[in-house]
Amino acid sequence: MTSFQDKFTQHKKPFYKKPPVDIYRKINTACLITIASVCLVSALMYTKSFLIPLVISVFVYTMMTPLIRYLRYKTRLPYWIAVLIAALIVMVPLVLAVIFITNSISNFVQGYDIYRGRLVESFNRFADWIRSYKIPIPQEILELKNLKAMLTGPSSMNFFKGVGANAFKVISYFSMVVIFVFFMLLGSGRTKITNPIIKEIQNKISAYLYIHIIMSVFTGVCIGIVYFSVGLELALMFAVLTVLLNFIPNIGSILAVILPLPIALMQFGPSASFWIVLIVPSVLQFAIGSLLEPKLLGGGMDLHPVTIIASLVFWSLVWGVPGAFLAVPITAAIRIILSKLEPTRSFAEILSGRLPR
């Protein structure tokens, strides 16, 4: 017979309930995912000097591949001639844009003293206009002491040093892109893409890039006509910058409108020409970027606007300005890959703005 104490211990309940094993597995999985994400982001940041030109060259190659197929299908040209024509069509505008931007930056740096004097003079006129209407603004602001110190102090020199360093970085990146694209094209004739996921990524990304390039060039031409019609200085440079900045989603179009305003204020003051430089490009950017281009793209990228903004912030933090340019194509490629895998399909639906069932 069992004693009374043994019966008591048999019916005694534990003070806590042991959690199921699944909770431990979920915690371990979450911790592993967090550690892997941190390591991946660190690797992306550490190897960006190599990965940025590599990713750009992949997208350039993605643009050239359907063009090569089209040329061979329509004209029956040999492969190397079709590659040469496609390279000229895609790479020559990029080379000209890089040369033009670097020359424009160097010309602006050389004439910085002239533009600085004009800017201070324009702000003085604007301050006199405010005083004439007796607008209650502190006198310290109207005297522009902080602005004059910023334009003449060491911060301006640091700015130009940064511009020079970034210009050199762009040239080095572009040289690496040319080398990568050359070797990709050299090996593309020997292998054919049969994977349906890679084909879908290639088709959607190339369609997005072509439509976006056409719309950006159209926007730059329209805005360039506006700048030339009012006689804005550096009008051609700002038109080319409009084309380039439109590749940065949402924020790029705002920057393209804001950048010419100091030059317009220096040149025209608060006159009708200044307001034309401000208002007409803003209207064109909204009409083309928010109304016309989405209709042409349709649901090609299948990315929610919040996803686009989040990807823009993430890739800008990881890779800086090049990451802002590459944010949408990279995120679209990631979404396509996630949508083809059963365990990650729900994440692809979230990126598209649809809640998983």
Q: Give 2 or 309, the one with higher predicted confidence.
A: 309
More confident residue, 304 or 301: 304
Interval 250-261 mean pLDDT: 87
Banded pLDDT at 14 (limits 50, 70, 90): low
Average pLDDT, the chain: 77
CA dihedral 165, 97, 325, 333 (to 10 degrees): -130
Name the pTM for this structure. 0.72
Could you give the CA distance from residue 283 to residue 192 in angstroms, rounded to a whole number?
45
Structural domain contains residue 174? yes
Residue 130 vs residue 67, higher pLDDT: 67
**What type of residue is 65?**
T
**Residue 66 maps to a domain:** yes
- Work out the pLDDT band at 62, boundaries 50, 70, 90: confident
- Give the confidence band of 226 by pLDDT, cuts at 50, 70, 90: very high
pLDDT of residue 177: 84
**229 pLDDT exceeds 70?**
yes
pLDDT at 213: 85
Does 117 score more than 80 pLDDT? no
- Asked whether residue 180 is assigned to any structural domain, the reply reads yes
Asked if the structure places residue 269 within a domain, the reply is no
- Percentage of the chain beyond pLDDT 70 is 73
Whether 53 shows a pLDDT value over 80: the answer reads yes
Average pLDDT over residues 333-338: 85
Domain that holds residue 102: 50-192
- If you average pLDDT over residues 348-354, what whole number do you get? 81
Share of the chain above pLDDT 90, in %: 5
182 falls in which pLDDT band (50, 70, 90)?
confident
- Confidence bin at 350 (pLDDT 50/70/90): confident
- pLDDT of res. 225: 92
Pairwise pLDDT comparison (183 vs 279), residue with the higher score: 279
Q: Whose CA is closest to 127, among 113, 150, 148, 152?
A: 148
The residue to which tokens 């019966």 are assigned: 7
- What is the pLDDT at residue 320? 85
In a domain, 319, yes or no: no
Angstrom distance (rounded) from CA 27 to CA 14: 24
Asked whether the predicted pLDDT for residue 356 surpasses 70, the reply is no
pLDDT at 111: 65
Q: How confident is the model at residue 340 (pLDDT cuts 50, 70, 90)?
A: confident
Residue 354 located in a structural domain: no
Q: Tell whether the model's pLDDT for residue 157 goes beyond 60.
A: no
Q: Which of 156-160, 202-206, 227-231 has the highest mean pLDDT?
A: 227-231
Averaged pLDDT, 137-142:
58
d(C-alpha 290, C-alpha 279), whole Å: 16
* DSSP class of 298: T
Could you tell me if residue 138 is inside a domain?
A: yes
How many structural domains comprise the chain? 1
Decide if 58 is inside a domain. Answer: yes
Cα–Cα distance, 242 to 257 (Å, whole number): 8
Beta carbons within 8 Å of 239's beta carbon, 6+ residues apart: 220, 221, 223, 224, 227
pLDDT given at position 140: 56
State the pLDDT at residue 222. Answer: 92
* Mean pLDDT, range 137-160, rounded to an integer: 55
Instruction: Please say if the pLDDT value at position 6 is more than 60.
Output: no
Check if the beta carbon of residue 248 is closer than 8 Å to that of residue 97: no
pLDDT of amino acid 223: 92
